[in-house]
């Protein structure tokens, strides 16, 4: 290509939001290759294979600069007037979200612009004026303050003396890992003997709330692939609009009598030789049993439950119908294409969800579609019950998790093709922890397509996840500002950052938080753009502060004292991708990385020596904070109580206590990175089950000691009904 074309390519890339240069983890500027820029621009719909294409794409980008407004969505601040183009009459009608109608006359500013007086109520309001018909999203000044939400009195919690604490703790739980106890006389069908469900989640919320927890921060509950049980990573879902139906508890919705015809078996059948969950076996059994529950439900006389299902289907509309159709089509084509296939592998006439072929398939497979609607109904009503239990016993309830993207082969990508990207994968550039970069195999919304659709895809996704939750943890929240995209066939380090309309997305997230009265926590770990954390705080969102990263820069890297931790944050020892407290102390993560081939024996030995130094540094920090006895050498066992007391002493408004740490587990839920070619050596990601049943978690002496540490730090609300 000519120099002129190369210059045009850079101009198109920058106009489209791509960053041709970026700063790596070592502070060095890195340039993105022209091939990468062209590949990603092609995916975004702006081809640049020639000078002519570059000029055409640039013209289209310049014309679409105000795409959000053109799509019929205006974002305005609460209490501030706003302007727009004049198109006819100055008289307007504003229909507020609550149905109230306001009539008025806009101020003519001249030059084809008019001003509308300030709207005093947050929400999505409908404006009609002349030829203008648009939605005005009025954004509050901030999301609900966590301190205010923590003051809410749970319905089932006895009244406390004095003012409730405004520094609470939440229990962090992987839903799939929850275990059911052996309750005598309680029938539990095969498939529910092991592996979590929403009924267990409600039980855990009740138990945690009775012991002073402010809520439960849980793993993603997004819809997976019913025809492919091998895909069980909660962060690689088929759709973020719907739920993992395998977590549904039919007895919660239909009553225990619905389980009468279902068989009952032994839990050991659902664990593999390493005592980890055999999710393919569990899901296959649950799906078959849910089929029988559906048959019985269909055969029973019409009731209020049937009416509720019908109302649920009507409310779900096109999105639910398409998801059910995708599930049926995916199962149908799995017989010939294999379960790992995606909609891109279907015959061409089935790739468009609005096609005649898809409509005919839906008509001829009506029962299959009804079954998948039924599954979503069971899941939604089961989760609603779990959230009701959580809110009855905690001020926050469930804090859901929004995955950063979806599997490009799945339901969401098929049903919303105009809004998601194809041909690229979301990941992360090389950094200190992953020197080769990361390719997560996910797709995400196109920022340009989002704006052209008035951010409809983003709004409906946030609403779906907040439907039965009191809060939201946004996975890789930096994705609201930029995402690292890897072109198909390229290595993870051959990607490019794509910018997103950060202010618009953050404002919409803030509005949804206000509408749902929910706390928002952003996973702001890694390389954070300048000013990003300040934007989170300004909007009332919390960031995340992880013990392993709260270190000073000089060597040896000392841990920040509790007083130096940020206030507007959720403090925690670790995350699902990092070792537990016991695991870190034992070096289990080092063991697994050596087993995966990421460390040879020499490197593993070096890392172990560094870990011993880190243990000394952490023990010193505990001593300096007055939480460990002075003059006592580093202990053999992990000082879990002392570390938890350290975290509880921080000013951070929320503390996340991982269920694995509460239960004394040494293995982490997930180990990121490339798995070894020998599957027998691979870390069992997303398959570990807790060693202690949910109903026994708070009955152990070690748990009582941990809870006492939280109470001493003022993190526990005093409840007369709590058990020690």
d(CA 395, CA 407): 34
Look at 3 and 679; give whichever has higher pLDDT: 679
Q: What is the pLDDT of residues 72-86, one digit of tens each?
A: 899 999 999 999 999
Q: Which two tokens stand for residue 702?
A: 């070690």
pLDDT of the residue at 717: 56
Instruction: For residue 586, count CB atoms less than 10 angstroms from its CB and return exposed for 0-12, middle for 13-18, buried for 19 or more.
Output: middle
Strand order in the sheet with 73-77: 73-77, 132-139, 123-129, 91-95, 101-105
d(CA 470, CA 375): 23
Tokens 């009191």 sit at which residue?
Answer: 470
Categorize the per-residue pLDDT at 3 as very low, low, confident or very high, splitting at 50, 70 and 90. low
Section 694-708 average pLDDT: 88
Half-sphere CA count of 270, side-chain side, radius 13 A: 28
pTM (2 d.p.): 0.94
pLDDT of the residue at 193: 78
Q: Is the dihedral of CA 145, 151, 153, 158 positive or negative?
A: positive
pLDDT of the residue at 181: 80
What domains are defined for the chain? 3-63 (no CATH), 79-139 (2.60.40)
Among the residue ranges 111-115, 344-348, 628-632, 689-693, the one predicted with the least confidence is 689-693
* 41, 18 Cβ separation under 8 angstroms: yes
List, in sequence order, every residue forming a beta bridge with 425; answer none if it has no partner: 486
Q: What is the pLDDT of residues 310-366, one digit of tens each?
A: 999 999 999 999 999 999 999 999 999 999 999 999 999 999 999 999 999 999 999
Among the residue ranges 127-131, 456-460, 627-631, 719-723, the one predicted with the least confidence is 719-723
Look at 526 and 648; give whichever has higher pLDDT: 648
pLDDT of the residue at 430: 85
Look at 169 and 719; give whichever has higher pLDDT: 169
Among the residue ranges 61-70, 501-510, 524-533, 598-607, the one predicted with the least confidence is 61-70
Q: What is the pLDDT of residues 556-583, one digit of tens each?
A: 789 999 999 999 999 999 999 999 999 9
pLDDT of the residue at 364: 98
d(CA 220, CA 174): 8
Q: What percent of the chain has pLDDT over 90?
A: 78
pLDDT of the residue at 720: 37
pLDDT of the residue at 362: 98
Cis peptide preceding 556, ω within 30 of 0? yes
Among the residue ranges 292-296, 391-395, 450-454, 716-720, the one predicted with the least confidence is 716-720
Q: What is the pLDDT of residues 578-609, one digit of tens each?
A: 999 999 999 999 999 999 998 999 999 999 99
* Nearest Cα residue to 612 out of 587, 595, 580: 587
Instruction: For residue 25, count CB atoms less than 10 angstroms from its CB and return exposed for 0-12, middle for 13-18, buried for 19 or more.
Output: middle
pLDDT of the residue at 68: 64
pLDDT of the residue at 719: 46
Give me the chain's average pLDDT, please.
91
pLDDT of the residue at 270: 80
Among the residue ranges 49-53, 266-270, 288-292, 438-442, the one predicted with the least confidence is 266-270
* 525, 576 Cβ separation under 8 angstroms: no
* Nearest Cα residue to 8 out of 63, 43, 46: 46
d(CA 212, CA 462): 28
Q: Which two tokens stand for residue 346?
A: 């279907």
* Nearest Cα residue to 711 out of 700, 701, 696, 722: 722
* 187, 544 Cβ separation under 8 angstroms: no
CA distances from 446 to 512, 598, 687 (A): 21, 34, 32
Cα Rg for the chain, rounded, in angstroms? 26
pLDDT of the residue at 705: 86
pLDDT of the residue at 165: 65
Section 496-507 average pLDDT: 96
On the question of pLDDT at 701 being above 90, the answer is no
């Amino acid at each position: 290509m000519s120099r002129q074309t190369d210059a045009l390519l850079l101009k198109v890339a920058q106009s489209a939001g791509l960053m041709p240069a970026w700063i790596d983890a070592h502070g060095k500027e890195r340039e993105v290759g022209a091939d990468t820029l062209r590949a990603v621009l092609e995916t975004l719909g702006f081809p640049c294979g020639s000078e002519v294409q570059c000029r055409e794409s640039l013209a289209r980008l310049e014309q679409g600069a105000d795409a959000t407004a053109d799509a019929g969505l205006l974002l305005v601040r609460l209490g501030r007037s706003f302007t727009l183009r004049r198109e006819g009459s100055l008289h307007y009608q504003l229909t507020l979200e609550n149905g109230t109608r306001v009539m008025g006359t806009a101020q003519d500013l001249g030059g084809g612009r008019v001003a509308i007086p300030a709207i005093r109520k947050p929400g999505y309001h409908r404006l009609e004026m002349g030829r203008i018909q648009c939605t005005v999203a009025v954004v509050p000044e901030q999301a609900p303050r966590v301190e205010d939400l923590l003051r809410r009195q749970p319905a089932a919690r006895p009244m406390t003396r004095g003012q409730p604490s405004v520094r609470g703790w939440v229990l962090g739980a992987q839903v799939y890992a929850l275990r059911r106890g052996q309750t005598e006389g309680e029938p539990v069908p095969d498939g529910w003997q092991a592996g979590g469900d929403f009924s267990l989640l409600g039980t855990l919320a009740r138990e945690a709330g009775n012991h002073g927890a402010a809520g439960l921060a849980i793993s993603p509950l997004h819809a997976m692939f019913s025809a492919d049980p091998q895909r069980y990573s909660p962060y690689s879902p088929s759709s973020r609009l719907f739920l993992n139906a395998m977590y549904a508890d039919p007895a919660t919705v239909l009553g225990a009598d619905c389980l009468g015809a279902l068989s009952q078996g032994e839990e050991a059948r659902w664990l593999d030789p390493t005592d980890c969950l055999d999710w393919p076996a569990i899901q296959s059994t649950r799906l078959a049993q849910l089929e029988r529950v559906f048959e019985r439900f269909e055969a029973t006389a019409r009731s209020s439950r049937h009416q509720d299902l019908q109302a649920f289907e009507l409310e779900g509309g096109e999105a639910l119908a398409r998801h059910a159709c995708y599930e049926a089509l995916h199962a149908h084509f799995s017989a010939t294409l294999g379960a790992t296939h995606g909609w891109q592998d279907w015959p061409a006439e089935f790739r468009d969800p609005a096609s005649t072929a898809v409509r005919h398939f839906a008509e001829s497979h009506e029962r299959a579609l009804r079954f998948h609607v039924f599954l979503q109904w069971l899941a939604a009503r089961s989760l609603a019950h779990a959230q009701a239990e959580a809110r009855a016993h905690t001020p926050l309830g469930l804090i859901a998790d929004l995955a950063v993207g979806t599997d490009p082969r799945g339901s969401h990508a098929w049903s919303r093709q105009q809004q998601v990207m194809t041909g690229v994968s979301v990941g992360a550039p090389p950094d200190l922890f992953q020197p080769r970069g990361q390719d997560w195999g996910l797709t995400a919304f196109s920022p340009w397509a989002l704006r052209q659709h008035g951010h409809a895809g983003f709004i409906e996704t946030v609403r779906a996840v907040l439907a039965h939750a009191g809060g939201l943890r946004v996975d890789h929240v930096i994705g609201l500002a930029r995402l690292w995209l890897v072109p198909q066939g390229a290595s993870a380090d051959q990607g490019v950052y794509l910018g997103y309309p950060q202010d618009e997305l953050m404002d919409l997230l803030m509005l949804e938080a206000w509408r749902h009265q929910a706390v928002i926590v952003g996973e702001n770990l890694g390389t954070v753009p300048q000013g990003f954390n300040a934007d989170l705080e300004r909007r009332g969102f919390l960031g995340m502060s992880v013990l392993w990263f709260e270190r000073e820069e000089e060597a040896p890297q000392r841990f920040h004292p509790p007083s130096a931790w940020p206030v507007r944050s959720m403090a925690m020892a670790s995350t699902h991708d990092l070792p537990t407290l016991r695991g870190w102390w034992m070096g289990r993560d080092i063991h697994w990385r050596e087993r995966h081939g990421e460390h040879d024996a020499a490197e593993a030995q070096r890392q172990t020596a560094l870990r011993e130094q880190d243990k000394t540094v952490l023990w010193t920090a505990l001593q300096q904070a007055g939480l460990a006895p002075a003059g006592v050498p580093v202990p053999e066992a992990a000082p879990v109580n002392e570390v938890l007391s350290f975290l509880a002493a921080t000013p951070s408004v929320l503390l996340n206590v991982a269920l694995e740490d509460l239960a004394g587990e040494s293995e982490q839920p997930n180990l990121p990175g490339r798995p070894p070619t020998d599957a027998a050596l691979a870390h069992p990601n997303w398959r570990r089950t807790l060693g202690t049943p949910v109903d026994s978690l708070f009955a152990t002496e070690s748990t009582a000691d941990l809870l006492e540490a939280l109470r001493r730090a003022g993190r526990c609300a005093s409840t007369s009904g709590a058990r020690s």
